Chains A and B, each alone.
Chain A
Amino acid sequence: MFLIYCPYCEEHREEEEFHPKGQAHIARPADPEACSDKEWGDYLFFRDNPRGIHHELWVHAVGCRKFFNVTRNTVSYEILESYRVGEQPRFTAEHPEGRPVETVAAENVTAKAEVVERQEGVKA
């Protein structure tokens, strides 16, 4: 049984409250109409399936019902971190011991600023 930390509820809860939703960080093609069959097929059907560190989307189905990301080892099943949608992972295949917290925090601040900018763009 996993104990999963929900970054929105800020609590560890039992696996039963959550559903796994597949690979995280999949970007929808910006212009789907312009995709080749190859690009569109890759986007729809091809997923990372590593032995080792994997970034995945989970939903706190019977909790706050929010989606968030988890970094988990698919062999040992160890959960290395949970982080909000829009944020970047600390633990990656290249950095299994974790990148410095400050680097990740700085990235996330920039990412947030970009999102706000895009949303304001939409309003205008």
Chain B
Amino acid sequence: MNFRLILNIAVHLLRARLKQTVVAAVGVTFGIAMFITLVSFMNGMNDLLDGLMLNRTPHVRLYNEIKPSEEQPISLSEKYKNNTNFISSIKPKDRGKAIYNSQVIIKNLKADSRVIDVAPKITEPVFFNSGTIEISGVINGVDVAAEENLFQLSDYIVEGKISDLKQNNSIIIGKGLADKMLLIPGDIIKITSAKGNLASLKIVGISQVGIADIDDKTSYTSLNTAQKLMGESTNYVTDIQVKLFDITTAPALAKEFKTKFDLDTIDYQTTNSQFETGSTIRSIISYAVGIVLLIVAGFGIYNILNMMIFEKMDSIAILKATGFSGSDVKWIFISLSLIIGITGGVFGLFFGYIFSSIIDALPFNTASLPTVKTYPINYNPIFYVIGISFALLTTAVAGLFPALKASKVDPVEIIRGK
């Protein structure tokens, strides 16, 4: 088959109906542009929210949960071994929240090739005292360098510097807390631990993560300061936070670490399951809208080709009479459709990119996301590949039926009709 000739005929037929061709192509352009814009924006949004969580949530967290012993004394007894034992009023055993042997575990995890880095942490409930009032909250003792490396803590420090935490007895408090207690950096805050230890810490910064629940309660200090406040040794750690190279392996690794270190573990996916659902729904919506627009564009192409075939019956008849086969004629009309699809699609990608860039430049200021200045856009090339594939697929399908119809035109019927 001579594709150059077939393409040449297709182009000539299109040129004769330039206006309709342009309208059909614009339909495709519109569909693809909207699809690209929507998907890029929705995915940008997903990334932003994912990042919000990912940046703050360890992929795997190791800790000690307060819970009753799984092995109650009676199960050790030979005598009642075959009985079903009912035990009431079990109390959890106080093993303390401290992770035993934390240094060894951290060393071990750091050596693991699947792990990016490890950050130890102390989380303790405390009371913040201001005059006569007491506000309950949480103090996070963090390894400043590791925490910054894994969770970009400095993104959420709106006043002061994270490195100031390295000074002895310094603290960074949440914005909500600071507002309530009318504190500013440089002030001294009094803190009472759950065990009754008292300490005065100097405020060196204010943090804001954008979630009121966190900003009203949370404060950060160094591991050392937290250990001193608790009256514990320098081995005292309540959480070990792990970041992995491949987040999808988190549930499996959480299980592995649980048995290996005999600790409780929780993975990112479990912590954020409801969050995933939101992301998925946003993706589905953007794909659905894109596909619907393209189907509409497809009907446009279908109509135009049908019209063209109706008008060009004579031409089809003479092409067949002079030696073009049914399949040649079919390919002429499929090429017509694909030309519309490709030009419309390429322009669609172009405009999709332009629209995305415009959205990307629009200011988007929200108190909850201090580091975000403009609307988020994800420029993943795969969206463009999907977009052009969609365009080709819909136009090919839309063109196929008219093309088959054209290939079946009986030249005798047309010529006899004159």
Partners in one complex: no
- Chain A contacts to B: CB under 8 angstroms: none
